[in-house]
Each structure stands twice: as C-alpha cells, then as structure tokens.
Amino acid sequence: MTGGEDARETGVPEASEPATSAPDVSEPGVFELSAAGARELVIRAVSIPSVSGDEAEVARYLVGWMTAHGFRAHIDDAGNAVGERGSGPLTVLLLGHIDTVPGEIAVHIDAEGVLHGRGSVDAKGSFCTFVAAVAGLGRETLERARFVCVGATEEEVPSSRGAHFAVTQYAPGAVLIGEPSGWEGLTLGYKGRLVLHVSVQKPNFHTAGEGSSAGDDLCEAWFRVRAWAQERSGEGIFGAVQATVQQIESGNDGLTQRARGVYGLRLPPDITPQQARRELGERLSGLATVEFRGDEVAVKHPRDSLLARALRLAIRDAGGTPVFKLKTGTSDMNVVAPHWPVPTLAYGPGDSRLDHTPDERLPLSEYDLAVTVLRDALTRVAQTMKPGA
C-alpha cells in the first residue's frame, strides 16, 4: 500500500509573512455552499463504510452530491469518484482517497462538535474538504482554471489502484493530495518504502546438535537488515532509514523447518528502493530467500512554489500560522510525483496521529476552516499560476 500511513511528522512554523485581503469568491449566479451543506457532505461520506476494495457505495454518493452541486461527475474505470468544475487552461488536480482501513467506529458527533468515524481523518475529511472548496468557487476562478477532484480507491492497500489510474488520465499544472495535516499544515513530502518478505527453509535437526535453526537464520537476517538501516541513516527522522518487524513466525513438521518474516523499511530521499534492494540482497545472499515488495520512492517538494504561497496566504488570512511538514509514512503523493513534476502539496484537516486508530475523529470547526482556506487558496492559484508554470 502507499499505506496512507502518515506516521510521525516533522513541522516548523513558517516565517512571518504579511496577510493580504482574500479575493472575492462569491460571484453572483454561481453556486454557494453553506457551512452546513459542507458538513453534511463529510458526515454522510464518513457514515458510508468503504474499506479498501469496497468503495462503490461512497463513490456513488459523492458523484451524486457533486452532480447536484455544479460538477461534471462520474465514476471512472478504477472506481474513483471524479468531479470537475471550471473551463480554464490551468488544470488543478485534487487527489484524495475514499477508502479506509478496516475497523468499525460508531459514527456520531459529540457535544463538542467532533465527528467520530472511520475515515473522518484518513482521509474522507480531506477529500470532502476538496469537494466543498471547489463547489464554492466563483465564476472568474472557474473561467481561469479547471479543477478536478478525484476520490481515489485502494490507497490503503498495496495496489493504489485509483492513483495509478489517475496518472494515465490527466496532465495537471498543480496537484493537491488529500491527507490530514491540520488546517494550518502543509505537507511537502513523504518518505519512501520497501517491504521485505524473508523466508528460510532447512532440514530438521535435533536442537542438541550443531547448526542454526530456520528461526535463527531468520533472526540473523533481521539483524543484518537493522544494521544496514543504521549504517545508511542520515540526519533527523526524515533522513533516517526506519526498519520494523511487521510479522514473524516459524515451525516444523518433523522433517523440515520453516521460518518467515516481513520487514518494513521507510526510506529517505537519498535512498531509492532499487538501491535498497541491491544492497540488502547482497547482505542476505546465502542466508535467506527474499522477495521485495511495495516499492515507493521518497518525495519532497519545494516550499516556495506558487501553490505553497497561495495556501500560506490563505492560512494567514484565516488567522492561522502555516507549518511545513515532512511525513515518515507514504501517500498517493509517492505514486504521482514521478509522473506529475509540478507544484504539489498535501493538505487536509485532522490530526494524522489518529489515522487507523480506534479514536479517529475530526473537529467539524477545523473542517470548516480547511474548506475556507482551500477555497481562498484555489482562487489565488487561478489568479497567479499559468499553465506550464
């Protein structure tokens, strides 16, 4: 999977920049979405279960909502919920995901106005922010740019089906990835990933005899992987190679010993999955059989793009302090970055530490702010960015 795992994140407040007045986004004759209407969108979307591979119902709901609110909408061949507004020469692609990890959480709004439910943070909240913001754009903005919202399928599993299909369909001039960063947060990059499926098989022998067991060899393989990670790590959490044991088991049938483990790596930008494959393959040669999966290249975008500037100004005008973040997990940004070398950021409301947890929840007041910020930022992007810039 691209994982949808934000894991740890690093962030620092952006240096002070004067706020400017927000552009007018309420052109007469253009659909205006109320805060209550935007909230209804996310509450209903979170209420529809959509574990990876079973997104059809929520996709139908989102397409119906977008169609009723001024979008040209459809479900594409990957099952993505797609909605478009605007006709300008600049294409802004807003890619979120509508699938979730398993685990039912009773959907409700508590006394503090917090929406509880699977997907409220990761990441239906972000995609609904995209849709609600685009629904409220003014006529002049829609004449300058075309905004395409793609609610992608299967982001939480290895296929990343929706994102892989999207890269074959569009050539955007700017990209927003829907992942929780907090309404003041701008995510510039994600670490890469590689997963090792390691196995050992050898004839059974008496434990009083000489030699190593299959389990011993599997542990030695892990020690070598961990040592490599330590040797190849750079400065800080984003520069480190993070290695974890995801699964381990062993046994025998009286004739043959078998041991199997799954080791996960989070890779910094200066180590590609191909490099890791080669170096680890050499270290584990003759000890264990290794199958590499889940390759994702780390990505880090600049903080001075016109897209980043538009969001920074919009956050400041809403009373916030922009914070740049780098995340140790992966997202669909890793999938699309090699295909779309354009200004890209991840944005969305919510605390990513709640991703995949039993306490996943989103304050609706923060969602409201994120919608306002994004609508403002998209208006600025349409005014300042040129196709191919």
* pLDDT tens readout for residues 351-374: 999 999 999 999 999 999 999 999
Residues 151 and 42 in one domain: yes
Residues 117 and 196 in one domain: no
pLDDT value for 15: 46
Instruction: Answer whether residue 205 shows pLDDT above 90.
Output: no
Nearest to 258 by CA among 281, 221, 284, 288: 288
Residues 84 and 181 in one domain: yes
Q: Indicate the pLDDT class of residue 386, thresholds 50, 70 and 90.
A: confident
Q: Indicate the pLDDT class of residue 8, thresholds 50, 70 and 90.
A: low
Q: pLDDT tens, 227-239?
A: 999 999 999 999 9
Residues 174 and 91 in one domain: yes
Residue 4 lies in a domain: no
Residues 261 and 244 in one domain: yes
pLDDT value for 210: 72
Domain count, the chain: 2
Cα–Cα distance measured from residue 287 to residue 200, given in angstroms and rounded to the nearest whole number: 8
Average pLDDT of the residues in 90-96: 98
Cα–Cα distance measured from residue 14 to residue 132, given in angstroms and rounded to the nearest whole number: 26
Tokens 């009083």 belong to 208
Residue 255 lies in a domain: yes
Residues 163 and 56 in one domain: yes
Domain end call among 263, 296, 329: 296
Q: Over pLDDT 70: what percentage of the chain?
A: 90
pLDDT value for 24: 40
Q: Indicate the pLDDT class of residue 11, thresholds 50, 70 and 90.
A: low
The first and second tokens of residue 230, run together, are: 């330590």
Domain end call among 245, 263, 296: 296
Residue 2 lies in a domain: no
Residues 59 and 136 in one domain: yes
Q: pLDDT tens, 267-300?
A: 999 999 999 999 999 999 999 999 999 899 999 9
Residues 140 and 177 in one domain: yes
pLDDT value for 206: 63
Instruction: Answer whether residue 29 shows pLDDT above 50.
Output: no
The first and second tokens of residue 11, run together, are: 């962030």
Residues 226 and 203 in one domain: yes
Residues 282 and 308 in one domain: no
DSSP state of 235: S
Residue 3 lies in a domain: no
Catalytic site positions? 99, 155
Residues 198 and 290 in one domain: yes
State the residue range of the domain holding 256: 192-296
Instruction: Please report, for the domain that includes residue 281, its CATH number.
Output: 3.30.70.360
| Contact partners, residue 148, CB within 8 Å, separation at least 6 | 82, 83, 84, 91, 92, 93, 94, 170, 172
